[in-house]
Amino acid sequence: MAELKIGDYISAPRFGYLKHDFAGTVDKIYENSVMVLINEHHEDDDVVINEYNQRAIVSKKKAKIKK
């Protein structure tokens, strides 16, 4: 897998209270995960995304770069 960089657009699997997968921009990089600013999500997850302040921590192993 290619190394993730700040600004990369990725897709990520649902987790926690989210019912659907989501996509967004890498905002910060940690050792084994990235912080994602969520740009695309299912409307059913609106409340949860707002609770998460439009951000999520995603494992680098589960993040997939979208082209």
> Residue holding tokens 């949860």?
48
Q: With a cut of 60, say whether residue 1 has pLDDT above it.
A: no
Residue ranges of E strands in 1-67: 9-12, 22-29, 33-40, 55-59, 64-65
pLDDT at 67: 75
- Buried-state track 35-64, b at ≥16 Cβ within 10 A, e below 16: bbebeebeeebeebbeebeeebebebeebe
Of 44, 37, 41, the closest CA to residue 22 belongs to 41
pLDDT in tens, 18-59: 999 999 999 999 999 999 999 999 999 999 999 999 999 999
- Stated pTM of the model: 0.89
Mean pLDDT of 1-28: 93
pLDDT value, residue 31: 95
- Which residue in the block uniquely carries the two structure tokens 């990520």? 12
